[in-house]
Structure 1
Amino acid sequence: MGVKVYGPPMSTCTARVISTLEEMGAEYEVVPIDFEAGEHKQPPHLARNPFGQVPAFEDGDLMLFESRAIARYVARKYKSSGPDLLREGNLQESAMVDLWLEVESQQYNPAIAPIVYQCLVIPMRGGVADQKLIDANVEKLGKVLDVYEDHLSKTKYLAGDFFSLADLSHLPYTHYFMATPYASLFESRPHVQAWWQDLSSRPAVRKTAAAMPTSR
């Protein structure tokens, strides 16, 4: 049995897993889940992910959910054939990878996700964006990116002068964010912008992003 990823490739969390698989050169199958039909809340998918979300990940008898945990598993499973995204052979480097993975999860994602949702998802569904919510999170994200700008003035990538899962985990929401009217938050910070250009030009990232349309 091969590796299967359950979820639409345009989903941010599914894209996090797919980009890691692509980066590692792994073979995998994407099994689409129809959100509009409510397939993610039906018993077959709830057996894969009891929270009724995507993605779910199947590797033989192993079933995983939570995209960041899946990405770590993928990085470990294919370490011998792909890049060392976790640096687990070096205590200090692996600690920095862990640290910036936590920053992405706890600082970056909570600020950027509402902006993407308000600017792209709600209008796509015929709704009206909440500008107050956008403004509050733009301010929050700006402060986070100030920290990134200072940090990236000293190292090429987040965990050091090596590309890691900490960088790659930023792909999904940043890809969509750059299609919002607030992309200048990156463009006005030269080190952040250079880091994003480096990340977004990687072949695995380009292939993943090709399945993530920013408009309909």
Structure 2
Amino acid sequence: MNLENLRREYLKGGLHRDQLADDPIVQFERWMTQIIATNIPDPNAMTVATVDADGQPSQRIVLLKGLDQRGFVFYTNLRSRKAQDLKHNPRISLHFPWHCLERQVKVCGIAEPLSAAESLKYFVSRPRESQLAAWASQQSRPISSRSMLLQQFEAMKNKFGKGEIPLPDFWGGYRVKPQRIEFWQGGVHRLHDRFQYTRQADDSWSIERLEP
């Protein structure tokens, strides 16, 4: 396999300081609106990076399910590997790889657990099968086979019947309060445009250009 010659130019245009919103959440919403308009699958997919107690980083794909001035929201099993990592080290990084627009966004911040009420509000909005799957899967735990997973799913279907499915006590969400947000736009000759927003002590944002 020869990977050395896999390359292309980035020609979709640059990014200039006067094009940026003063607020990175506003800027992110602009870019998110544009990526949704491309109709790519899962435009809200993001890589979530955490670090375990031994200092080993780990990454996985999660869907962004909420965004406002308080931060970026996602949901997970609270016994999962990522949740265990966040329990001892709440520092987290998110990455949005929007290759079709030659863009990336990186978010670094602190993950804070959502309240049970916030998690419940989202949980009841999910399809019933997704609610059952949350009960059926002990996320990140070893399992002998897929058939065993399906048996656990069927067991949950039988348990709850046609009744209301309660919020599992081991399932919930996190809000990532951003400390730094970087916007990356591909550039010709690998002279990419990168701008980093950094949160200040008064919660305002400074903006600086980074070398590619």
Q: TM-score, normalised by structure 1?
A: 0.21
Could you say which structure has the higher strand fraction?
2
Question: Which structure has the larger Rg?
Answer: 2
Q: TM-score, normalised by structure 2?
A: 0.21
